[in-house]
Amino acid sequence: MIVSNIKTVMEDRKVSVREMAYATGLSTTTILKARRKGITSCRLWTLEIMAEHLQCKVKDLFDEIDEA
């Protein structure tokens, strides 16, 4: 299962949803959906924009965990 780390990365960098939306042009709804742990889909373009603003790599925004 793939889980989102976006919320944690944003908190570590003290970036609010509103600030991210303003800086990236993404909607707050898109950002809130991407922050959910159980995210099911997200466009790579969206992840690239978020990663650029958060000054990290796209792969830092997600983890893969085993479902046992």
In the chain, the domains with their CATH numbers are 2-64 (1.10.260.40)
* 53, 16 contact by CB (below 8 A): no
Distance CA 14, CA 30 (A): 19
Categorize the per-residue pLDDT at 65 as very low, low, confident or very high, splitting at 50, 70 and 90.
Answer: confident
pLDDT digits (tens, 9 = 90+) for 16-39: 999 999 999 999 999 999 998 877
Categorize the per-residue pLDDT at 61 as very low, low, confident or very high, splitting at 50, 70 and 90.
Answer: very high
Please report, rounded to a whole number, the percentage of residues in the chain having pLDDT higher than 90. Answer: 75
pTM: 0.86
Is the model's pLDDT at 14 over the cut of 90?
A: yes
Distance CA 37, CA 55 (A): 20
